[in-house]
Amino acid sequence: MSTFSAPKGTYDLIPPDSSVFLAVREAISTPLKRAGYGYIETPGFEAVELFARGVGESTDIVTKEMYTLTTKGGDELALRPEGTASVLRAALEANLHKLGNLPVKLWYSGSYYRYERPQKGRYRHFSQVGAEALGTEDPALDAELIILAFDAYRSLGLRNFRLLLNSLGDKECRPVYRAALQEFLRALDLDEETRRRVEINPLRVLDDKREAVQKQLVGAPMMRDHLCEACKSYHEQVRELLTAAGVAFEDDPKLVRGLDYYTRTTFEFVHDGLGSQSAVGGGGRYDGLSEMIGGPALPSVGWALGVDRTVLALKAEGIELELPAHTDVFAVPLGEEARRALFSLVTELRRQGVATDFAYGGKGLKNAMKSANRSGARFAVVAGERDLAEGTVQLKDLESGEQSAVALDALVDTVRERLSDSPST
C-alpha cells in the first residue's frame, strides 16, 4: 500500500467501475456525433480572467471554488471549473466561426475542478461530457441539444429523470426584470454577502438553496412575466419542438443555474434518486459570452452532463449496463514451445479484432484456467507439446465446457466464426 492517497474530494477511476464511466461517455457522445458535432479538447488550465469574465465574478465558482496558481512567469491560471468558456476561447482563437459553416458544433469530455465541500455526487474533481453550438440563434438548435441529451439518458435506460426549463430573457427585457427583482430583494432580511449579490447579479439569489432565503422569495417577480415578445416567441418555439419530439419538461421560473452567461433558454436535468445533489446535467443559451471574453457577437447554446452524476443515477435505478467483454479468448500455453506458438496466435487474433489475453508468468494449467474464467473470456485456447506435435490446439468453450481440437492454421478463422455465431456476444 502506498503512503499517498488521492486528494480529499477526488477519486481514482479503476476497473471494473471505469468500464461503466467509459460506457456512459460513449452513450452521451454518440448522439452528438450523429448530429454533426466534432470533438474538441482544451487545456486543463486557463487564464483566471477567462473564467472571471465568462463565468461571472460574483459566482461561487469564481469567488470560492476555483483552484488558482501563479506561474514562475507571473501568469495567473486556474484549473478549469467548467468547459464552455474554454471551448469558446479555443473556437475564437482558431477562427472557427469565420469558416462560413455556422453553427460550429463541438463536443468534449474531460475532468473539471472546483473546491467544494465533498459529498456524495459532489466532488472536487469531476467528469463531464459537453456540447456547444456556436454562432447561430435558432430555437431549433436549443431544442436539438436538449433532445440529444434526453436521448442519451434514455439510451442508458434511465427513466426517473426530469427536465426543468426556463427562459432568462435577453439584453432587451432582462434589465427591466433585473431592476424589479432588485427592488424586491432589497426589502428582504438578507446577509451582507447576499446583499452584495443582489447588486451584482440578483438572479443568482433565486438559486440560493438556503431555506431561510427561499422562504422570503415567495412572491418574488419572475422573469417569465417580464419577457419581451421576441423572447416569449423564442421560448414557445423551443417548447413546441420539444413537445413534438416527445420530450416532457417542467417549466421552472426560478431556474437560473450557477453561471452568469446564460440568456433565453436555460435547462437542467435532475434525478430524484440522488437526494440534494439531484442535478445530472444542464445548460442553456449564452448569446453574450463571446463578447464578454473579447470576441465578436456569437450567439451560442450548449450543455454539460455529469458522468459521475449519471453513473449515480444508474445505480439509483438499479441499472446495470451491458458492457462489451474485455476478453473473448484466453490463451493457456503448457511449456515453452507452446508459449511461443500461442503468443503468435494471440497477436494474430488481436490484429483480427478479437479481444485476447494470455497466461503470463508461466502459470500451471489449474491457475491459468482460473485466470481465464476470471477474465470473462468466452473461449480458452490450450496447447501443450503433444498438441503442437499434431499441429493443433484445444479450443474450450468456457460457458458450455465443450472442448475440441482445432488445427493451428485454422484457429483464427474458427474463433471468429464461433464468436459471430455466439448469442452472448
Span 371-410, pLDDT tens digits: 999 988 999 999 999 999 999 999 999 999 999 999 999 9
Strand partners, 149: none
Q: Do 331 and 357 contact (CB within 8 A), yes or no? A: yes
What's the CA gap between 335 and 311, in Å, rounded?
Answer: 44
Full-model pTM: 0.89
**Cell numbers describing residue 252:** 421552472
141 closest CA partner among 284, 352, 319, 346:
284
The CATH architecture annotation of domain 17-173+227-316 reads 2-Layer Sandwich (3.30)
Alpha-carbon dihedral 21, 23, 28, 29, rounded to 10 degrees = 110
* Coil, helix or strand at residue 224: helix
CATH 3.40.50.800 domain range(s) in the chain: 329-421
What's the CA gap between 11 and 18, in Å, rounded?
Answer: 11
Sign of CA dihedral 192, 193, 198, 200: positive
Sign of CA dihedral 361, 367, 370, 374: negative
Alpha-carbon dihedral 41, 152, 147, 38, rounded to 10 degrees = 20
Host H or E run for residue 29: helix 17-34
CATH 3.30.930.10 domain range(s) in the chain: 17-173+227-316
**Cell numbers describing residue 260:** 452568469
What's the CA gap between 367 and 418, in Å, rounded?
Answer: 25
Q: Where are the beta strands (DSSP E) in 210-365?
A: 250-251, 263-271, 279-285, 300-306, 329-333, 356-358
Q: Could you read off the pLDDT tens digit of each residue along the chain, which spans 425 residues?
A: 678 999 999 989 998 889 999 999 999 999 999 999 999 999 999 999 999 887 876 677 787 889 999 999 999 999 999 999 999 999 999 999 999 899 999 999 999 999 988 777 688 999 999 999 999 999 999 999 999 999 999 999 999 999 999 999 998 998 898 899 999 999 999 999 889 888 888 888 887 888 899 999 998 999 889 999 999 999 999 999 999 999 999 999 888 876 667 889 999 999 988 887 789 999 999 998 999 999 999 999 999 999 999 999 999 999 999 887 789 999 999 999 999 999 999 999 999 999 999 999 888 899 999 999 998 899 999 999 999 999 999 999 999 999 999 999 999 999 999 988 765 54
Residue 128 neighbours by CB under 8 Å, 6+ apart: 83, 109, 110, 112, 281, 304, 305, 306, 307
Q: What CATH code would you report for 329-421?
A: 3.40.50.800
